[in-house]
Amino acid sequence: MKLEWLEDGVKTIMGPIPGVKYDESRQRKIWFNSMVAAYTGWEDERNDPVKAVTFGDGEPLPPDIVYDCLHILEEESGAIPWQKGDVLLIDNWAVLHSRRSFHPPRRVLASLVK
């Protein structure tokens, strides 16, 4: 992700990003893309979700294809029953994670490590 600083704020610029990467440690291809996020909350006056997800040549992916992917991800998802004091470590190459709605108060501490 890149940031473009504007007079009235900042614009995020994604891509092009391959939808599939090769994980050397697991010796297999993995889904490594957040394309459906454009259809689930990244819409504002500067970001049109219908134009946000494209093929490598810049042509938009048909919305029905993105929605099919969104439905597959929803079907394959599982919720973690969080309790106070819980800690969760996620291997970003092995698990696609999301941010579902929640009821405040909530405090999330995150760290990226290699």
pLDDT for position 27: 93
Instruction: Tell me, rounded to whole angstroms, the distance of Cα 90 from its chain centroid.
Output: 14
Helix, coil or strand: residue 114: coil
pLDDT at 76 over 90: no
Mean pLDDT for the stretch of residues 85-98: 79
Give the C-alpha separation, 76 to 63, whole Å: 20
The whole-model pTM stands at: 0.57
pLDDT tier at 1, thresholds 50, 70, 90: low
Distance, CA of 54 to CA of 60 (rounded, Å): 4
Place of tokens 């969104």: 70
Predicted confidence at residue 14, as pLDDT, reads: 66
Of 97, 96, 111, the C-alpha closest to 23 is 96
Tens digit of pLDDT for each residue in 16-56?
667 788 888 889 998 777 776 666 666 666 667 777 778 87
